[in-house]
A and B are shown apart, each in its own frame.
Chain A
Amino acid sequence: DGGITQSPKYLFRKEGQNVTLSCEQNLNHDAMYWYRQDPGQGLRLIYYSQIVNDFQKGDIAEGYSVSREKKESFPLTVTSAQKNPTAFYLCASSELSGVASTDTQYFGPGTRLTVL
């Protein structure tokens, strides 16, 4: 899992609550990503950020929000607007080599969110 940490490992949320998932990296990577993993499906991109104070929506951004105030941190908030938030959430980071398509992503250990 390299130099990327995610916390907590397990998170339980009541309906109607917002929760924030932490992601920190010490790899000095510029780009960071949030993915959602559901059983039997590939990873789906929620948000990504290329630089501090900038981020872009991925394929399934509705009901989620992010911030990028520091290079090493990219927290994800799952809001009450997300209708089916139970999933495994993965954070990743990568260098920006100039040809971003070729950059390898390195993943954190994940946070499993369960809505009660």
Chain B
Amino acid sequence: AQSVAQPEDQVNVAEGNPLTVKCTYSVSGNPYLFWYVQYPNRGLQFLLKYITGDNLVKGSYGFEAEFNKSQTSFHLKKPSALVSDSALYFCAVRPSNTGGFKTIFGAGTRLFVKA
């Protein structure tokens, strides 16, 4: 079965420290990978995506993610966390063999950045 796993329900980090939010996936075919962020009672905002090419993808608000095909991972990173980064983060994958319209979302990881 195709799936996305975010192994941590919550990640706590101090402001100014680097942060990592983990994501692993299991899909057949080429995976197209996305990260979204959600603030309370709001819709999801797009951060970045990996389609092809360079394994390190840079996105909005200083976030980046590294695609690792051998480990089937797509971890989200930021060199220096801000309190305003505190939110719910979703990893998502669109398998290339489902017609392209079905997105599989992870359960989400809540990031808490302490001042």
Given the interface pairs A110-B41, A112-B41, the reply to whether A105 lies near B105 with Cβ below 8 Å is no
**Is there a chain B Cβ closer than 8 Å to A53's Cβ?**
no
Total contacts A-B at CB 8 Å: 75
Query: CA–CA, A40 to B94, complex, Å?
Result: 21
Mask, A99-113, CB within 8 Å of B = 1, is: 111111111111010
Give the number of residues in A that approach B within 8 Å (Cβ atoms).
32
CB proximity to A under 8 Å, residues B65-115: 90, 92, 94-96, 98-108
Chain A, Cβ-Cβ closest to B42: A109
Contact (Cβ within 8 A) A107 B43 = yes
Which chain B residues border A1 with CB–CB below 8 Å?
42-43, 45
Given the interface pairs A41-B107, A42-B4, A90-B43, the reply to whether A101 lies near B100 with Cβ below 8 Å is yes
**Is there a chain A Cβ closer than 8 Å to B49's Cβ?**
yes
Contact (Cβ within 8 A) A99 B100 = yes
Contact of A45 among B46, B100, B103, B107 (CB under 8 A): B103
Q: A42-B92, A104-B46 are in contact. List 5 more A-B contacts (CB 8 A).
A: A40-B108, A41-B108, A48-B102, A105-B103, A107-B36
